[in-house]
Structure 1
Amino acid sequence: MSNSLKQVTTRGILWSSIERFSVQSIQFVIMIIMARLLTPEDYGLVGMLTIFLAVSQSLIDSGFSQALIRKQNRTEVDNSTVFYFNIAVGFALYLLFYISAPWVADFYGLPELSLVMRVVCLGIIFNSLAVVQRALLTVKIDFKTQAKASLIAAVISGVVGIMLAYTGFGVWALVCQQLVNLGINTFLLWIFSKWKPMRTYSWKSFRELFSFGSKLLASGLLDTTYSNIYPIVIGKVFSAGDLGHYTRAQQFSVFPSSNITGILQRVTFPVLCSIQNDIDRLRGVYRKFLKLSAYVVFPLMTGLAAVSFPFIRIVLGEKWMFCAVLLQIICFSMMWYPIHAINLNLLQVQGRSDLFLRLEIIKKAIGVSILCLTIPLGLKTMCFGGVVSSILCLVINTFYTGKLIQVGFIMQMRDLFPTLAVSLLMFVLVLSLQWMTENLYAQLLGGILLGSGFYLAVTRLLRFQELQELFSLLSKR
């Protein structure tokens, strides 16, 4: 990796990390406070509507965000075309969800869900107004500006949410927190980015961008729908309380895995796009990104799985203990998430959104099959099925990576195996500590110190290149 590219990547990772983890840390603390004030049923009600917000975001973006980032000669006409299309889709979706809200409430057998859905879906309109601003800032690898907007929005919305939860507003505390967050974030992106749309719309530009973005749209819709099948099934087959436990477990597992993946995706996509025509260089940079992401995510996820029980009992209390059971299982599924994402990123870099879509269809068919088999066996078994599905999908994801740049499943596993082995040893070591003491704080704090010390010591002793890369990145910033 050249010095200039490394500097751009380092700066991007730094500010993307600041945005993700400063915001998520604040939201994490806020979520803990609100979870103590609210009930699993309150979270379950909002969890039932997650799929509508997620699908709407995929439709609003329509792959245009990635298409704009990838296009080397984008124009103001391109930007404005995407902007107006997003607004039209946003308002159309809100109208659709507003009308269908009573039917959704009937599906779950919860009449109060109708009004909640009509209010919470206002966030769709806020999202539609900021897609282009985020894309243009990402093109510049300017995550500092995005970090400022996200941080301010998280703090203000968090204060609003806690106040409402404390005064007994229940599920409406969660709804208002979400809307305030989206509204302020969108407003600040408009102020900070300084980009304003032109009064123009080009069907030629639309067709050009959509030819690439449409495949990503279909893939995104498929992935979003599949990702939210679990909340739909749990809410329908089990109860709002069970869904509340599941969504909290998923949120805890997402904090390290999905956020680090998001950082890497946002940075690696424009960086890899800039060297997309130099296959040898692309291959080398790509493998570095894979190994570095695994070095960070694998121990975080196995460590979280190991301390899940004392962690949940201390942070949320005894009423959330079933959440700890689910969290321990889900962590072993989510630990592979960054590897999936970076493999799929490469297909976008190479302009192969057709292969991207094909892979998504195959993987989701496998995932749905496993889900159908595990539903009668209970919620825990469904989560174990998610682990199996994640590993099978990894094999599928790496197939075209091997075809395009000769970095297939075997090579990737060879690169990642040392990190995986040390992470699993750390998991066993931390888990064994809980058999030696019943003190929750000793289990949690001791497990964190023992696990992190063991992992760093072993990887340093074995001279892991990823550790040196991290030290190099940190020392330069």
Structure 2
Amino acid sequence: MSNTSLKSRATKGIIWSTIDKFAVQFGQFTVSIVLARILMPEDFGLIGMLAIFIAIAQTFIESGLGTGLIQRQERTDVDFSTLFVFNLAVSTVFYFILFISAPIIASFFKQPLLIDLLRVLGLNLFLIAFTIVQRTKLTIILDFKSIAKSNVVGVVFGGFCGVIAAINGYGVWSLVFQILVGSLASCISLWYLSAWNPSFVFSKKSFNSLFGYGSKLLIAGLYAQLLNNVYHIFLGKFYPPGLLGYYTRAKNFADVSAGTISSVLQQVTFPILASIQKDKEKVVSIYSKMIRLSAFIIIPLMTLIALLAKPIVIVLLTDKWISLIPLLQWMVFSRIFLPMSVINLNLLNAIGRSDLFLKVDLSKFPITVIAMIITIPLGVKAIIIGHVITSAIFFIINAYLPGKFYGYGPMHQFKDMLPIVGITSLMAILVFLFTIMIQSLVLQLVLGIILGLVSYLLICWLVKLKEFTESWELVSNMLNDYFARK
């Protein structure tokens, strides 16, 4: 593939993946604000108790096989059909497991309502299984435009049904309706846009080949989901549902920004890096640039959210969520290394080293256990502060092997981030001094965002920050590509 062709495909991929993720996250964020104003923290806490069980089942359904197909240089229709049949079979097995174990889970949390909630919410597993092949095929050809359309359709329909249900007094069931209707709408849209029909052929040879690569990702995925959601179990067991509701809201708020950027990077960089995995010089060039650009965006963004946490929470969610403010301020900093960590781990998958991906993930287990033992008895705030510390340690671990292979390790990456940290600190001082002089929370929020963005970009321009220039070039290419199609 030529450099020009790769650059064009990468640019288009970034355009549509960015549109997809930000449109979806903005839509979900808007819906979540409306729902949070209507519902109570306890409603979100009940769904949070079920998060780990749904997440683990979903990880088994995906199993890393779709990623294995993307990483392959050659694929056949038999490979795709094998993946489809496997997804359906696993989703059926795990729905049955969730169905019969629902009373046990409800008894553990002492919340009888969880029985019906889990049995209905578990239907989403089938909808997920029906979309994996379609998403995989579209990702391989970098057709993120179709993926974006289907995701937006899901957000619109799911959000509409969820809000209508909440207004009509359905409580926690509003969140279930939102998820199921959104997944169904997205599923139908993907099948229409992908124009792929399964042949229901299952090849043992194809499965063994895919599973050889995907099995490591499956184990790593299960481990990651366990780490991401294990706190829900302890908070749901030993604390009131409302406290878990605050925790999940803080996590969701932080993930709107960091999670969106990470999703864009993961979706776009993996197929691109996989396609050039044998060209070390080109891999290093794209890999290092993505690390710097992600830091350029995420560090000031998360800092700004922390500075404006009070007006964000009170203006958007009302006073009943005021306890969320300190949790949100700490949670955003626990996500500040997430995009860079995603790129580092993505590189290992792209070059076919899913075994190393697994080893890197498993190496974090002792640190996580220690953090849990220390922080869980101390409360939610202590847990989130523990997230901040462990996320920094995990970033160093994630960057070690890619750095060893390509000469761009954690210290080099930290060095590249220092100018961004310095400029962000200046921006933070300006915003803090400005907002303390304003009484209105609405004005603090609006003017704080404007001042933060303008001052950050202006300082970057004045000091001629390389990442600012590269970002401007990327935006220019995106605009030129857009108007060229008009």
TM tier relative to shorter chain: over 0.9
Q: Contact 1:223 / 1:364 at 8 angstroms: preserved in 2?
A: no
Q: Percent of aligned pairs with the same residue?
A: 41
Residue identity in the other structure for 2:418: F
Aligned pairs for 1:286-325 within 5 A: 286-325=287-326
Q: CA separation in 2, counterparts of 1:2 and 1:466? A: 21
Specify the alignment match of 1:179 in structure 2.
180
**Aligned-partner SS, 1:49:** helix
- Cα drift, residue 385 of structure 1: 0.5
Q: Which runs of 4+ in 1 moved over 4 A?
A: none
Q: CA separation in 1, counterparts of 2:244 and 2:80? A: 39
- Cα drift, residue 273 of structure 1: 0.9
Deviations 1:237-293 (A, max 9, x none): 211101111111111110111111101111000111111011122111100011111
Q: CA separation in 1, counterparts of 2:156 and 2:136? A: 23
Would you say 1:228 and 2:229 are equivalent positions? yes
Deviations 1:19-53 (A, max 9, x none): 11112211211111111110000111111111122
TM-score under structure 2 length normalisation: 0.96
Q: CA separation in 2, counterparts of 1:152 and 1:248? A: 24
Residue identity in the other structure for 1:459: C
Specify the alignment match of 2:156 in structure 1.
155
Residue identity in the other structure for 1:429: L
Q: Contact 1:218 / 1:357 at 8 angstroms: preserved in 2?
A: yes
Specify the alignment match of 1:11 in structure 2.
12
Deviations 1:357-412 (A, max 9, x none): 11111113212211211112221111101000000111111111122111111111
Q: Contact 1:261 / 1:341 at 8 angstroms: preserved in 2?
A: yes
- Cα drift, residue 442 of structure 1: 2.3
Specify the alignment match of 1:368 in structure 2.
369
- Cα drift, residue 18 of structure 1: 1.0
- Cα drift, residue 327 of structure 1: 0.6
- Cα drift, residue 194 of structure 1: 0.5
Residue identity in the other structure for 2:25: Q
Q: Contact 1:246 / 1:326 at 8 angstroms: preserved in 2?
A: yes
- Cα drift, residue 125 of structure 1: 0.9
TM-score under structure 1 length normalisation: 0.98
Q: CA separation in 1, counterparts of 2:232 and 2:446? A: 32
How many residue pairs align between the two structures? 477
Residue identity in the other structure for 2:265: L
- Pick which of 282-291 and 191-200 moved more: 191-200
Q: CA separation in 1, counterparts of 2:366 and 2:89? A: 32
Aligned pairs for 1:264-413 within 5 A: 264-413=265-414
- Cα drift, residue 437 of structure 1: 2.5
- Cα drift, residue 435 of structure 1: 2.5
- Cα drift, residue 450 of structure 1: 1.5
- Cα drift, residue 107 of structure 1: 0.7
Residue identity in the other structure for 2:259: S
- Pick which of 194-203 and 248-257 moved more: 194-203
**Aligned-partner SS, 2:364:** helix
Q: CA separation in 2, counterparts of 1:431 and 1:106? A: 47
Aligned pairs for 1:442-461 within 5 A: 442-461=443-462
Q: Contact 2:273 / 2:351 at 8 angstroms: preserved in 1?
A: no
Specify the alignment match of 1:193 in structure 2.
194
**Aligned-partner SS, 2:89:** helix
**Aligned-partner SS, 2:248:** helix
Q: Contact 2:84 / 2:200 at 8 angstroms: preserved in 1?
A: no
Specify the alignment match of 2:123 in structure 1.
122
Residue identity in the other structure for 1:302: T
Would you say 1:427 and 2:437 are equivalent positions? no
Q: Contact 2:57 / 2:125 at 8 angstroms: preserved in 1?
A: yes
- Cα drift, residue 468 of structure 1: 1.8
- Cα drift, residue 81 of structure 1: 0.6
Residue identity in the other structure for 1:344: L
Q: CA separation in 2, counterparts of 1:118 and 1:107? A: 16
- Pick which of 443-452 and 252-261 moved more: 443-452
Q: Contact 2:68 / 2:214 at 8 angstroms: preserved in 1?
A: yes
Q: Contact 1:62 / 1:214 at 8 angstroms: preserved in 2?
A: yes
Q: Contact 2:85 / 2:200 at 8 angstroms: preserved in 1?
A: no
Q: CA separation in 2, counterparts of 1:116 and 1:428? A: 46
